[in-house]
Structure 1
Amino acid sequence: MWIKPVDNLSDDPQGVDEQRWATPMPAVFALAFGGFALVIAAILTDTDPAGRFLVTVAALGLWIIAGLAAYQRPRLWMNDSTVSMKRLTGVQTYRREEIVRIKTVKYPRLGRRVPMLEMDVRRAGEDDDRLVIFGRWDLGTNPQDVYDALERGGFVPEASQ
């Protein structure tokens, strides 16, 4: 009988051989619900056609963001030998040797500094690095926690640390 090891230290236990990070589904549902609320508000607005138009555009914007967040789930995941990320263009998978640098950087946003996870990746045979940045919205958790998990998995190159 085979028993699969599980990480029970968090509220969302995951297999040790694979971890996933994505935008939380309650946030995606809240965006979709907000879109419906705005459509209802636009329908109930009788006297202001310009306001009705703007509220409808805002509802469409919320639905687009919710759809993109739902489509790109999970946003980042790792297993024993690769790190994969889902983008609008599809799934990109990188082996350990294709990861040039991973680090967390604090960027100023809305008057405070928020952490972001930066990954530089380079496909075999390519000369240029690609910079991929993930924030808390993309990962559903603190980017430092994801960095720590990637480091434990052996994906952070020595030069990055």
Structure 2
Amino acid sequence: MDNSAPLSTTEWATPRPAAGALGIGGLILLLAAVWAAGDPAGLVLMGAAGLLLLGFSGYALLIRPRLAVTSTPDGQPAIRVRTIGGAHTYPRDRIDRIRLLDFRRIGRRTGQLEFDVLHHDAPATAPVDALRDDTRLVVFSRWDLGADLGAVADDLRLAGFVVDDERR
């Protein structure tokens, strides 16, 4: 019996104001680099930092949504992951595992939502009950999705996915 909720598309991406702030910061750094043109090291460092911030801002504004819950033509729930290389859709049977993790970094806890997805030519079931080496790891943070990872995991569960909560 299928107890999953009716599926409506749910999407997550980096918040536009945050991406815009990165772009503004990049422009400020580029202007500061021009202003500090008398100092070659400052020009190079601030110019490079400004270009990196502008690139990251463009990435966050253009690659949207980063993660979406959709359905396949036969009604099976699927996730769509968008990257620079394009959008990739993985139906539920091509997702090996979804984990919600918690790590301690630089004195604070940060979360990650990990998807182990099967390559298009990988068999749906592993030949032995062991770790698979034919999967692709897709990792999202709160920055990538613009939402609390616990809430995203809850939405994924409502859509019919199994999410392992391995937070401490």
TM-score, L = length of structure 2: 0.79
> Which residue is 2:93 aligned to?
97
- Deviation of 1:68 after TM superposition, in Å, equals 1.4
- Deviation of 1:107 after TM superposition, in Å, equals 1.6
Identity of aligned residues (%): 40
> Which residue is 1:77 aligned to?
68
Contact 1:38 1:56 in 2 (8 A): yes
For 1:150 and 1:51, how far apart are their aligned partners in 2?
46
> Which residue is 1:112 aligned to?
108
> Which residue is 1:148 aligned to?
154
Q: What are the equivalent positions in structure 2 for 1:2-151 lying under 5 Å apart?
A: 17-80=8-71, 81-123=77-119, 125-126=121-122, 128-151=134-157
For 2:121 and 2:36, how far apart are their aligned partners in 1?
58
Helix, strand or coil at the partner of 2:113: strand
For 2:36 and 2:59, how far apart are their aligned partners in 1?
28
Paired residue total: 145
Task: Return closer, same or farther for 1:55/1:125 CA change in 2, 3 Å cut-off.
Answer: closer
Q: Structure 2, unaligned stretches of length 5 or more?
A: 1-6, 72-76, 124-133
Contact 1:94 1:123 in 2 (8 A): no
Contact 1:115 1:144 in 2 (8 A): no
Helix, strand or coil at the partner of 1:79: strand
Task: Return closer, same or farther for 1:46/1:79 CA change in 2, 3 Å cut-off.
Answer: closer
Q: CA RMSD in A?
A: 1.9
For 2:88 and 2:102, how far apart are their aligned partners in 1?
25
For 2:11 and 2:92, how far apart are their aligned partners in 1?
17
Q: Structure 1, unaligned stretches of length 5 or more?
A: 1-15
TM-score, L = length of structure 1: 0.82
Deviations 1:5-44 (Å, cap 9, x if unpaired)?
xxxxxxxxxxx61100000000110011011111111122
Deviations 1:23-66 (Å, cap 9, x if unpaired)?
00001100110111111111222531211121111100101111
For 1:41 and 1:125, how far apart are their aligned partners in 2?
50
